[in-house]
Amino acid sequence: MSNIAVVVGTRPEVIKMAPVIREFKKRKIDFAFIHTGQHYDYEMSKIFIEELKLPKPDWSFMLKNRKPASQIGEMMTKLEKVLIEINPIFLLIQGDTNTMLAAALTGVKMGIPIGHIEAGLRSYDWRMPEEHNRRMVDHVSEILFAPTEKARKNLENEHVYGKIFVTGNTVIDAVLQHIEIAEKSSRIMSKIPFKEYILITAHRAENVDDPKVLKNFVEAFIELPIPAVYPMHPRTMRRLKENNLYNKLSSSDKILLLPPVGYLDMLVLMKNCKLILTDSGGLQEEATAPSIRKPVLVLRQSTERPEAVEAGFAKIVGTKKMEILKEVGKTLNSNLKLPSTSPFGDGKASERIVNILIKELNLY
């Protein structure tokens, strides 16, 4: 029997759970580490476990299903078997993916109390599957670790059942713990032929699965005023090829397309870029870390990280070509003064989370 079952399934969860796992090991707290296999590509998930020098998962699944509902059902079935074997007193999850929904539903049906790290994020955009997931998870969790006061307010307004604690976001812990290692060990900059560049990531279903939005992106990226570096998610690659847009993008001499890169390489790319164009939630947070401090243009209609917008780090620009290009030009030409601190915390979120768990679960 392990006291706590820690569940991850995707790259962001591995990164954001890493500081908590390190804190568990430092405090000698017993835990079982489970990887659901939601990101089945080696480059998209397991490489991060190795790169962050985390322990190998005690359990790892190979999923047969890729469709969301079937995948969630398969994860629940496999998680139930493992949780029966572990018999934990608590289930700790992070984020808003299908893995987190599967873990939360399994836990609640088995009577295992749930702790949700990064609780209370809201985009109010129902096209986003993550919005469904995070709301359901928050309402079945016993302990909710809200990263910010705004997230706490969201939870209070929804009258969630569990106890709410504001801790900061572990993503800032992760950046602060790894940036020096990244700068020493990463060789990614030797592959970049540009003196200055924009860093691009785009992978969200509501963007890349829409041919019109995808075409807008390709046309905007080709016309950017300075070169761009674009590590490409496998989903985006598939959609570009299906829509006969990949060759148009890859033939541009101003855009360097890369396969998915590791976390340390991504930190270095962020640190050295002029500007970030992304539809990712995590990059909106990472860009605010004191050691990164880069402006972000969000390629979406909404964000569940409004703190980054309010602090001046991020701006929502939508998905239309002319709007994207207009805001890129304005941002590059402005003398932007970004805050020296992150709205997502001071790098001690994992310490606070473990302190709360020790007290609430009577671990010592």
Nearest to 43 by CA among 204, 262, 254, 251: 262
Q: Give the Å distances, CA to CA, from 162 to 38, 87, 157, 307.
A: 27, 22, 13, 23
Own/partner long-range contacts of 238-246 (Cβ < 8 Å, ≥24 apart):
239/208, 239/209, 239/214, 240/208, 240/214, 243/211, 243/214, 243/215, 245/214, 245/215, 245/218
DSSP label of 232: -
Q: Which of 116, 178, 203, 233 is catalytic?
A: 203
Own/partner long-range contacts of 330-336 (Cβ < 8 Å, ≥24 apart):
331/275, 331/295, 331/297, 332/225, 332/226, 332/274, 332/275, 336/295, 336/312
Q: Decide: 284 and 309 in contact? Cβ < 8 Å.
A: no
Residues sharing a CB contact under 8 Å with residue 251, sequence separation 6 or more, in sequence order: none
Q: Does residue 139 have an active-site annotation?
A: no
Q: Give the Å distances, CA to CA, from 246 to 71, 238, 250, 279.
A: 28, 9, 6, 19
Extract the tokens encoding 140.
């079945």
Q: What are the strands of the beta sheet with 59-60, ordered from one edge?
A: 59-60, 31-35, 4-8, 90-94, 114-117, 143-146, 163-166
Cα–Cα distance for residue pair 49/41, rounded to 1 Å: 13
Positive or negative: CA dihedral 101, 235, 284, 298? negative
Cα–Cα distance for residue pair 322/169, rounded to 1 Å: 34
What amino acid positions are annotated as catalytic residues?
203
